[in-house]
Structure 1
Amino acid sequence: MQGMPVDKTTKMTQKIRVIVADDHDCVRVGVIRLLQAAPRIEIVGEAPDTQTLAELLDTHACDVVVSDIGMPGMDGASNVVSFLRRLLRARPHPCVVVLTMICHAHMLSGLLHLGVSGIVDKRDTATSLIDAIEAAISGGVYLSDWVRVAIGTSDAPPQPRAGVLSAREWEVFQLYVQGLAVHEIATRLQRSGKTISTQKRSAMRKLGLETENDLIDYARQIGLA
């Protein structure tokens, strides 16, 4: 009957609606087949690029997005990170589980700061992805074994979601890694040079980046440089 409360038992038996996004057909098909074998998971869409993912999210109810971050982006971009950042800032939004081969600690830390619910390395066991989806839908944060090892190599392992970049910090970060100097960014955005410098430092701190080389390496791995 409409309006009746859903008890915990009913909630646990509801399907978890998942969209799978990866530009490699063999990976996408393999992931879909794996997840289709899980009783609680229902695949509601698949995407080979960010544009298709965006269109699916506009037309399909979805609880969890499982996405690679190296697939073609939107507006000529070569990665999906910018789109995921916008998605995760919206309210409400689906949980995001990243499926990747990246093992750079700063990059993985940055994904956590963006607000993803899980990161699974493609070299980990197949059940890791199902565990990540279950954790995400329960409000947790899941890191697969390879990811934990990679992040553990950092001198200061980050706290998940300790500091999500603001829209202005992300804007400054993108322009800086594209080669613009602080004073050029200040002119373009009509802010003071001191403000731009502060926002750049804040973005680096939140992403766990200590040096200019760390910043360039991070930007290269997510396709911004």
Structure 2
Amino acid sequence: MQQLKVVIADDHPIVLVGVREMVMRDQRFAVVAEAVSPSQLVEQLQTHRPDVLITDYNMPGDAVYGDGLKLIQYVLRHFPDTQVLVLTMVSNSLILSRLDELGVAGVIQKNHLHEEIQKALSALSDRRSYRSPQAPASSVVGSTQQVDERFASLSPKELEVLRLFVTGLSVSDIARHLSRSIKTVSAQKVAAMRKLEVDSDQALLTYCIRAEQFE
């Protein structure tokens, strides 16, 4: 039986070694390359065209590929024959739902990696998606009305900051663009996050995407 080629990507060496050892125990798979950054990951995908990619969700981003949703979208678009298994510490159901919508083969919470990796590999070897039993049952976006109410609570200046944030600008970039201090822009962004009930930049971005804001 021909082994399935696997590329592993994670910026934490200990995780990288651990995942490699677990994959190598399964005779159906062969680890052909590893990566510690988005650019290195894309380079290895271009070189090896693997059957499976096991990648961390959050790696230090770069100007070309970014990380998180941006990186996953790029990989799925440019390497459609590669099954993507995402490893993450993110539990925000908006992001997990979005990953599912994008078409990843599966998502594993890192704190359940040892219990789930073999089940996931078995599914991927059969070209099936893997659905973790640890996945949240529902999204924090309860209804369209709830989304509208949350965005209606934002001030015009907070909306302005979010509109630029969604385009990919950093807080310092937004401050320069709006001629405000970095401290002011940061405070407005934090206030918007509190009103929308999200706790990270990726969750904020995903919430805006799912809520179809600023398109």
TM-score (norm 2): 0.65
Q: Which residue of 1 aligns with 2:128?
A: 140
Structure 1 unaligned residues grouped into runs of 5+: 1-12, 158-171, 181-210
Q: Report the RMSD for the aligned CA atoms in angstroms.
A: 3.4
Q: Secondary structure, in 3 states, of the residue corresponding to 1:44?
A: strand
Q: Which residue of 2 aligns with 1:105?
A: 93
2:40 pairs with 52, 55, 69, which one?
A: 52
Q: Secondary structure at the match of 1:103?
A: coil
Q: Separation in 2 of the partners of 1:137 and 1:173?
A: 39
One-letter amino acid of the structure 2 residue matched with residue 22 of structure 1: D
Residues 55 and 115 of structure 1: CA distance in aligned 2, closer, same or farther (over 3 Å): same
Please list the CA deviations of residues 146-181 of structure 1 after superposition, one character each: whole Å capped at 9, or x if unmatched: 2x2xx2143689xxxxxxxxxxxxxx994288689x
Tell me: CA distance 1:54–1:72, structure 2 relative to 1, closer, same or farther (3 Å). same
How many pairs are equivalent? 167
* Structure-2 residue corresponding to 1:86: 74
Give the corresponding residue for 1:114.
Answer: 102
Q: Counterparts of 1:138 and 1:84 in 2: how far apart (Å)?
A: 22
Change (3 A) 1:37 1:223: farther
Give the one of 154, 174, 185 matched to 2:139. 154
What amino acid does structure 2 have at the position aligned with 1:94? T
Q: Which amino acid in structure 1 is aligned with residue 137 of structure 2?
A: G
1:128 is the counterpart of 2:116: yes
The equivalent residue for 2:167 is 175
Contact 1:96 1:118 in 2 (8 A): yes
Rounded Cα–Cα distance in structure 2 between residues aligned with 1:138 and 1:117: 11
- CA distance in structure 2 between the aligned counterparts of 1:17 and 1:47, rounded to whole angstroms: 14
How far does residue 141 in structure 1 lie from its aligned partner after superposition? Answer: 2.0
Does 1:213 find its partner at 2:196?
yes
Determine if the alignment matches structure 1 residue 68 to structure 2 residue 56.
yes
**Alignment-derived partner of residue 191 in structure 2:** none
Range with bigger deviation, 74-83 or 61-70: 74-83
| Matched-pair identity in % | 29
- Residue pair 2:123, 2:130 contacting (<8 A) in 1 also: yes
CA distance 1:133–1:212, change in 2 (3 Å): farther
TM-score scaled by length of structure 1: 0.62
Q: Can you give the 5+ residue segments of structure 2 that lack an aligned partner in the other structure? A: 143-163, 174-193, 209-215
Relative distance call for 1:124 and 1:91 in structure 2 (3 A) is: closer
Identify if the C-alpha distance between structure 1 residues 177 and 116 changes in structure 2 by more than 3 Å, giving closer, same or farther: farther
- Contact residue 24 and residue 48 of structure 1 kept, 8 A: yes
